[in-house]
């Protein structure tokens, strides 16, 4: 039997999702929590490897088990053994060939910018504070240039080890709520730091600190032409998308409303 779970976490105090030597990660906490309620060492699959400081609203992980428990008991049991900044939300029965990573057809992220002269006192760990006035129309125009299939070599970290820089951006959106600017991007997959570099570059263009367009920078296929990497704390993994027949509900479309709950 295979189970899949949706998971949310505040990534502030963790060294990313994926298990690492000599670091505290979210995967380690989950696997220890599962072991405590099953008495079995378990290795999970997961849909996205978020970096240190990045948050998630609907990360997905799965594992095989022969243990029969009520869905509510799975959720309560795992959550009882997790720190308060990590929480399982839902559980799904999935086919044996399901894999959280490889079965995903799309992944979606939102980035939160707090655009104000005033400090974001209650949202500092969940947003990037930019005091320069950012023109929304510029952000929208530049963001739309990412749509489609491109070589994103200009928007990958120097340590990215992906063999294929070509990704397909299927959806972009920007919304404003009071002083918050929320940029959302969906793709089949992302390179390391890709969303943060995309957002950082748009911010640099909107601040008139870069005299190139996103289209120009994509064509360069060179990281040195893109802008700064935006801080991890403003980035949220909204979750992956799977084929409809799997019936796994992940995306949190209104991220600001979710944060206020």
The residues annotated as belonging to the active site are 51
* Alpha carbon distance, N-terminus to C-terminus of the chain: 33
**Which of 102, 71, 97 has the alpha carbon at shortest distance from 242?**
102
d(CA 154, CA 214): 10
**Which of 208, 219, 187 has the alpha carbon at shortest distance from 138?**
208
d(CA 203, CA 226): 11
DSSP-assigned beta bridge partners for residue 239: 108
What SS3 state is found at 38? helix
| 167 neighbors 148 (Cβ within 8 angstroms) | no
């Amino acid at each position: 039997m295979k189970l899949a779970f949706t998971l949310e976490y505040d990534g502030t105090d963790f060294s990313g999702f994926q298990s690492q030597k000599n670091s505290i990660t979210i995967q380690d906490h989950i696997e220890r929590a599962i072991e405590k309620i099953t008495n079995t060492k378990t290795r999970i699959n997961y849909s996205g490897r978020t970096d240190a400081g990045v948050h998630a609203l609907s990360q997905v992980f799965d594992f095989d088990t022969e243990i029969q428990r009520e869905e509510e008991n799975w959720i309560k049991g795992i959550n009882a053994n997790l720190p308060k900044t990590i929480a399982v939300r839902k559980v799904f029965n999935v086919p044996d060939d399901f894999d959280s990573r490889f079965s995903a057809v799309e992944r979606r992220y939102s980035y939160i910018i707090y655009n104000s002269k005033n400090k974001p006192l209650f949202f500092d760990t969940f947003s990037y504070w930019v005091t320069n006035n950012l023109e929304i129309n510029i952000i929208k125009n530049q963001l739309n240039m990412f749509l489609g299939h491109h070589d994103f070599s200009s928007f990958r970290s120097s340590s990215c080890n992906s063999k294929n820089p070509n990704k397909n951006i299927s959806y972009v959106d920007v919304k404003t709520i009071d002083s918050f600017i929320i940029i959302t991007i969906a793709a089949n997959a992302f390179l390391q730091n890709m969303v943060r570099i995309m957002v950082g570059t748009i911010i640099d263009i909107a601040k008139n600190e870069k005299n190139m367009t996103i289209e120009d920078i994509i064509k360069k296929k060179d990281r040195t032409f893109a802008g700064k990497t935006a801080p991890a704390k403003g980035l949220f993994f909204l979750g992956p998308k799977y084929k409809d027949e799997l019936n796994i509900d992940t995306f949190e479309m209104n991220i600001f409303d979710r944060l206020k709950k």
